[in-house]
Chains A and B, each alone.
Chain A
């Protein structure tokens, strides 16, 4: 079993839709949860960073962590074509290393 599982997609939604992206993880020692966005042929850029269970909101983006279920989510409201990218979840423990999901490719269509 992989430490972090993420559906690769692709996920295609119409503009304005609410998008839900998810990851599950197996190691209960993980404490830090991040979402990165990666445009084609670019490096990943940090989108959201959370520590502990609960929700964190930033504009149209909401990150949700459920440590009891080992499940994290990223919601995108009012999705735009510019949101079309690959979204990577990344999870860390007390050491410096992060474990990444394989990424979900999102396409927002006009």
Chain B
């Protein structure tokens, strides 16, 4: 079974802090994704990566950056957290470009 893990289930940070969210997959998938999920808005793509050291902006990249130094690990960075970044963050991976994505359990981030 594909396993996608995320470093924290719940996280509370203060406005202005730098926040790191980590995602690890164990199936040697090339493609990894970061989404945020908000009520009424569904899943929105923040960034994705097709390969190590490669990244592409999704639909809402502002205020975020990413890092992919190793194939199995994809990190989402909030450079200076703001209250409007309070959300559920979901990581996903897939082996092929147009295939089904496998999700991690999510990190519920609260920014005070």
Q: Which A residues have a C-beta under 8 Å from some C-beta of B?
A: 6, 8, 31-32, 34, 36, 41-46, 49, 88, 90, 92-98, 100-103
Contacts and interface: CB of A to CB of B under 8 A. Distances in A.
Contact of A96 (B4, B31, B105): B31
A101 B105 CA distance: 19
Contacts of B101: 46, 90, 98
Nearest to B101: A98
Contacts of A98: 101
12 contacts: A6-B42, A34-B100, A43-B4, A44-B43, A46-B100, A88-B43, A93-B98, A95-B97, A96-B31, A96-B48, A96-B97, A102-B40
A45 B90 CA distance: 12
A31 B97 CA distance: 12
Interface of B: 4, 31, 40-43, 45, 48, 50, 58, 90, 94, 96-106, 108
Contacts of A100: 42-43
Contacts of B105: 42-43
A49 B40 CA distance: 24
Contacts of A49: 100
Contacts of B31: 96
A102 B39 CA distance: 8
A100 B43 CA distance: 6
Contacts of B94: 96
B2 to A, nearest CB: 9
Contacts of A88: 42-43
A44 B35 CA distance: 12
B43 to A, nearest CB: 4
B59 to A, nearest CB: 9
A41 to B, nearest CB: 7
B43 A8 contact: no
A94 B96 CA distance: 10
